[in-house]
Structure formats: structure tokens, C-alpha cells
Amino acid sequence: MRVLVVEDDEDLRFAVAAELRAAGLTVAEAADINAADQVIRAGEPACAVFDRMLPDGDAINYVHRRRQEGWATPVLFLTSLDKLADRVAGFEHGGDDYLAKPFAVAELTARVLALCRRAGSGRPSVLRHEDLEMDCARREVRRAGVLLTVSDKEFAVLEHLLTRAGQAVSRTELIEHCWDSSTDPMSNVVDAVVKRLRAKLAEPRLIHTVHGRGFRLGSA
């Protein structure tokens, strides 16, 4: 799952992002509201962590505006504004959780994982296509009943392809959902992961190249 961390303190943002990645999440980073908006519009994250006071404004105003547009991504606010009125304002403007600074990064990670689970509760925990089965809760992949060993990145790519089974998924979309925002969209990282997945999934092939568009999971 992909999480957006919006924090203008570079050291804090690095520490939070590192802890979230260690928990198995993909992290996109932004230092202000404008950059965060570009990340969100490029590909919806499972959860967003916003520092409230950013160089280009108070994040609760941005979240409130997006909520009015129908944006449903869970949001956790980070802030040094820890008075009751500040916390209430965060919830009233669309926040789902609120954590005052200073905080333990481990607690932040636990809260983010809880929000991600809540966001994904409407999706089946087990994804299936033909004889391919993915248990998202246990992070297990089986083909024809045989348990496969896949890396975190392979799991993320396969999960996204499974949720879009039968549809063409571009390399750019896979990078936006499965890699960090710093990944070069012109690199061959997607092709390398798909090649490894094809080898592990074996025949008959399930991941097909759609020339000029990307990849599709499904029958030939």
C-alpha cells in the first residue's frame, strides 16, 4: 500500500518515511501542499499524513476542500498544535486521526497501518484470478495451490495488477502505486519486477505485455 507523507521538516519526514517503509509500505513524500496535491492527483494513496503548518498554508484547509469534492482517503494530521480546540478543528475539517508533536514514530506507524486497513476494508482480503490466489492479510501468493516466495515489491505490483485484472495498467501507474515518488518513471524497474514475477508464476503466462500501454493480468 502507498502512503503519502507531507512534512516540511526534512529530517522528520525522512525518519517517518523510513519507519513506514520498514513496515512494508510504499511512501511518497512531499514538503508542501502543492506537491502533495500533485502526488494525490497522480495516484490515490491508501493514507495521507499531513503536518498541519506547511510553507504554503494550513493543511486542514486543503483537506477540508478536498473532502467537499468527495475525496475519501484517510488523513492523519501531525502538529505541534495540541490544544483541544486544535484537535477538534482537525477532525471537523476532515481528519481521521490527530497526533501531536513530539511523538513516537512507532505509534505513528501503528496509526497509519490502522487507517490503511480501514481504507481497504471494502476490498476482499483474498484476491483471485484463475488459479492465482493472493492473501493480502497474510501476504501470501499461491499459484495452483503452490506457495510462492515473492519480494515486497513483487507483491505490490502483483496486487495492483490483480485489482485491475483484465485491464491494461501502464508502467507509470505501477510506479505511482508501488514505488516511492523519487523513482524515475523512465527507469526499467517495472520491467525487471514483471520479469521476475513471470518466472515465479510460471506457465501458462498470466502477465501479458500490452504494447504501447503497459501490462495486463489475465488470460492470453
**Torsion angle defined by CA atoms of residues 209, 214, 219 and 220, in that order, rounded to the nearest 10 degrees:** -30
Q: What is the pLDDT of residue 12?
A: 93
Which residue type is seen at 118? R
Cα(104)–Cα(46) distance, rounded to whole angstroms?
Answer: 21
Which tens digit of pLDDT belongs to each residue from 68-89?
888 888 999 998 877 888 888 8
Q: What is the pLDDT of residue 183?
A: 58
Are domains 2-119 and 126-217 of this chain identical in fold?
Answer: no
Q: What is the mean pLDDT of residues 168-194?
A: 78
Give the dihedral of Cα atoms 23, 110, 96, 74; nearest 10 deg. 20
Q: Report, as an integer, the average pLDDT of 30-41.
A: 92
pLDDT tier at 163, thresholds 50, 70, 90: confident
For the ranges 117-126, 133-142, 198-207, the one whose mean pLDDT is highest: 198-207
CATH 2.40.50.140 for the 2-119 domain, yes or no: no
Domain range list for the chain? 2-119, 126-217
pLDDT given for residue 137 in this prediction: 66
Rounded Cα–Cα distance for residues 46 and 116 (Å): 6
Q: Count Cβ atoms within 10 A of the Cβ of residue 134 and give its class: 0-12 exposed, 13-18 middle, 19 or more buried.
A: buried
- Interhelix angle 105-119/10-22, rounded to 10 degrees, is 60
Question: What pLDDT, on the 0 to 100 scale, is given for residue 153?
Answer: 86
At 33, which amino acid appears?
A: I
The H or E element spanning position 35 is helix 33-42
Specify whether the CB–CB gap between 74 and 39 falls below 8 A.
Answer: no
pLDDT average, residue stretch 107-131:
78
Is the pLDDT higher at 45 or at 180?
Answer: 45
Distance from C-alpha of 157 to C-alpha of 116, rounded to nearest angstrom: 17
Instruction: Give mean pLDDT, residues 126-134.
Output: 88
Q: How far apart (Å, rounded) are the C-alpha atoms in residues 213 and 22? A: 32
Residue 49, SS3 per DSSP = strand
CA nearest to 164, candidates 102, 116, 113, 214? 214
In terms of Cα–Cα distance, which of 102, 93, 109, 133 is closest to 47? 109
Give yes or no for residue 122 having a pLDDT over 60. no
CATH topology of domain 126-217: Arc Repressor Mutant, subunit A (1.10.10)
Within a 10 A sphere around the Cβ of 54, how many other Cβ atoms? 20
